[in-house]
Amino acid sequence: MSTEASQQTARYKDKIYILILSIISLLFIGCISLLAYKSYYYVNHQPPEPHKLNLIDQIALWFDPIFFQYNLALLSLSVTIIPLITFCYIQNMKNEKRRRLHRELPAKLLDDPSVKKYIEQYIKKSFHIHHYLGSMLVLSLVVIMGSMIILLLKPLPLNAADGVTGVDYSLGANFLMLGTYMESYILGDEKLYIHVLSNTLTAFQFGFLGAYIYFIGHLVRSYFTLDLTPNMFVSSSVRMITGALLALVLCYIIIDHESKESVLLQGLPVWSFFIGFFPSRGLLFLEKISIKTIGFAKVRYFSTPLSNLPGMSYAHQIRLAREGYDNIENLANASALDLALRTGFTYPQLNQWISQAKLHEHLRNDYQSFLQDTGISSMDELKAFFKSYSKDKSADPVSLLAAAGNQYEQKINILYRLVNTS
């Protein structure tokens, strides 16, 4: 009875989730349709005076009607692609994930009833719409806000030209966009603060655009690698916000707003896009500036980056960091089965990385040299090598490995004892 009641409750929750998603989708589609209608309406009708326009009419008249409707189509596509791909993933990839795990996991794990039950419960839970709804809505809202700023915002003061509508900066200015240049707005230096607003808005827009382009590539990659998780949606939302704000903040440091001939000013869209695409590079640059100019002490951690492992790309590092494994020391203690369920990496690949991390923990700075000299990259390979000499008493595997480089002899002796006692 309790099982039946829980199933009914789950079905009831699913209906509520679908209803919420449907309402939000209808509101978004309704707003887009209204703007498209208004824009099309004024193609054949004379618009009223600018001061008589309501908010919807002002937005619809910011651009040429055809170009405006094209922007509306881009806005719709940029948002709707998220739920569409998510629904396709839930419907099409559930069985593929199960088949891949059964194909890759060793027979010892598959024969364990508790492991089989754990896998089935996790797949059933993770491939369900309510598992994605919250993170998907957050991401959609972030994309809507950012896309509207890129595609629909036309920041011009109303008195800049006759008949031009848009955001009226003469009615108030944004401290975030002006920063310390707010003084020029207060004192009435209109030329300077409009110039600053234009630069900072450009940095914000292209920073967001870079983060969004990265997200689209990551979304497609996650779909085909069976790695489309709520974690990815949340981290992408944070990445877009961080990338846009970093580009905006660095704009105050890099750009001379009073000079129009600066190379950095002309390349503002390019480096803003780059910072949005790689927010970590922007944070590193900001940290270096803070250390040099303000004298902040650099925080040092006793940890080894994942990039020291062979075959570990930037995308791999980002994905493992989202699961809490941002260095080799943490990865050495990870569970390959849990990561195979929660990420799109294969079980053998994860086993290899974890084994490499364990070997790296012992060899430390000698790991790269040891790999080049011996060809052994992981603890499992080292175990297999020692095991192959276990019955041959005349050979000494430690001496054989040490011959490749005498500086490893003590470490290899320690590893030999550890392997033989494990």
Instruction: Dump pLDDT digits (tens) for 282-329.
Output: 888 888 888 888 777 766 767 889 999 998 998 899 899 989 899 999
At residue 353, the pLDDT reads 95
Q: Answer whether residue 301 is part of any domain.
A: no
**Which of these three, 161, 181, 214, is where a domain ends?**
161
267 and 148 belong to one structural domain: no
Q: Give the count of domains, the chain.
A: 3
251 and 343 belong to one structural domain: no
Full residue range of the structural domain in which residue 413 is found: 306-421
Q: Answer whether residue 299 is part of any domain.
A: no
Q: Answer whether residue 182 is part of any domain.
A: yes
263 and 347 belong to one structural domain: no
154 and 20 belong to one structural domain: yes
Q: Are residues 29 and 72 in contact, defined by beta-carbon separation less than 8 angstroms?
A: no
Listed range (26-35, 212-221, 270-279, 319-328) with the worst mean pLDDT: 26-35
Q: Fill in the DSSP letter of residue 134.
A: H
pLDDT tier for residue 1 given thresholds of 50, 70 and 90: very low
**What percent of the chain has pLDDT above 70?**
80
58 and 138 belong to one structural domain: yes
For residue 65, count CB atoms less than 10 angstroms from its CB and return exposed for 0-12, middle for 13-18, buried for 19 or more.
Answer: middle
145 and 1 belong to one structural domain: yes
Q: Answer whether residue 151 is part of any domain.
A: yes
Q: Are residues 226 and 100 in contact, defined by beta-carbon separation less than 8 angstroms?
A: yes
Tokens representing 134 are 């919250």
Compute the average pLDDT of residues 123-135: 85
36 and 141 belong to one structural domain: yes
| Whole-number CA gyration radius for the chain | 28
pLDDT of residue 412 exceeding 90, the answer is: no
266 and 185 belong to one structural domain: yes
Q: Answer whether residue 166 is part of any domain.
A: no
12 and 133 belong to one structural domain: yes
251 and 318 belong to one structural domain: no
Q: Fill in the DSSP letter of residue 408.
A: G
At 56-72, the pLDDT tens digits run 777 777 667 777 788 88
At 354-397, the pLDDT tens digits run 999 999 998 888 888 888 877 788 998 888 878 777 766 666 77
Residue 252's identity, in one-letter code, is Y
pLDDT of residue 240 exceeding 80, the answer is: yes
pLDDT of residue 110 exceeding 80, the answer is: yes
Residue 343's identity, in one-letter code, is T
DSSP output for 268-324: HHHHHHHHHH-HHHHHHHHHHHHHHHT-PPPP--S---GGGSTT--HHHHHHHHHTT
- Among 174, 148, 170, CA closest to 159: 170
**Which of these three, 286, 320, 340, is where a domain ends?**
286
Three-state secondary-structure class, residue 262: coil
332 and 220 belong to one structural domain: no
pLDDT of residue 218 exceeding 60, the answer is: yes
Query: For 45-64, where are the alpha helices, taking DSSP H only?
Result: 55-60
> Which comes out higher in pLDDT, residue 339 or 415?
339
Q: Answer whether residue 278 is part of any domain.
A: yes
Compute the half-sphere exposure of residue 38: CA atoms within 13 Å on the CB side of its CA: 21
**What percent of the chain has pLDDT above 90?**
25
For residue 23, count CB atoms less than 10 angstroms from its CB and return exposed for 0-12, middle for 13-18, buried for 19 or more.
Answer: exposed
The per-residue b/e assignment along 285-300, b for 16 or more CB within 10 angstroms, e otherwise, is: beeeeeeeeeeeeeee
Q: Answer whether residue 116 is part of any domain.
A: no
pLDDT of residue 20 exceeding 80, the answer is: no
Q: Could you report how far apart the first and last alpha carbons of the chain are, in Å?
A: 48
Q: Answer whether residue 204 is part of any domain.
A: yes
For residue 31, count CB atoms less than 10 angstroms from its CB and return exposed for 0-12, middle for 13-18, buried for 19 or more.
Answer: middle
Listed range (147-156, 200-209, 220-229, 311-320) with the worst mean pLDDT: 147-156
183 and 266 belong to one structural domain: yes
**Which of these three, 223, 257, 286, is where a domain ends?**
286
Distance CA 12, CA 81 (A): 27
